[in-house]
Chain A
Amino acid sequence: GESVGLHLPTLSVQEGDNSIINCAYSNSASDYFIWYKQESGKGPQFIIDIRSNMDKRQGQRVTVLLNKTVKHLSLQIAATQPGDSAVYFCAEKPPGAQKLVFGQGTRLTINP
């Protein structure tokens, strides 16, 4: 069945360090992936997306890496700031489906 999961439910990092949030997806034919950030009491906010024909995509302070061989997606946040504290969700779009399937999420906390 469709499922998108995360290796770790919580991640704690020092302010200024780089954060890496991991995600495993189940459908090897999924052609689109996306990361969202959700702060408490708010809806998910788009961070970055990537298509299956790419291995890496960079944004402002964020990089998404896609490893299709092991069906793994990661989000790297450079120089983590207190404002990065949130729950991060990855989602995939299975082939032939016009919908996003979300994982459980990883809570990122920043230590001062």
Chain B
Amino acid sequence: DAEITQSPRHKITETGRQVTLACHQTWNHNNMFWYRQDLGHGLRLIHYSYGVQDTNKGEVSDGYSVSRSNTEDLPLTLESAASSQTSVYFCASSGIDEKLFFGSGTQLSVL
């Protein structure tokens, strides 16, 4: 069955370190998204991509970057992790039916 997987499930890092969260989907979807979820804020869009070599900034993109070298993967990089980036991160993908399929999330703690 097609799926979308995120790794790692949990990550603890230190302030200032570079961190990369992986997202891999086998739906063959062109659209991929990264959200962060925080209490009191719901889900906020970080970056998104409509296809290979395409990336776009979302509502809360500062301090994050993505790259899309193939259809299946959209890694999210925190260039220099900050405590304000402690959050749960969700990757999602969608096809022509416009429904989002979510991964199980990555709990990131920046100490």
Decide if A and B are genuine partners.
no
Instruction: List the interface of chain A (C-beta within 8 A of B).
Output: none
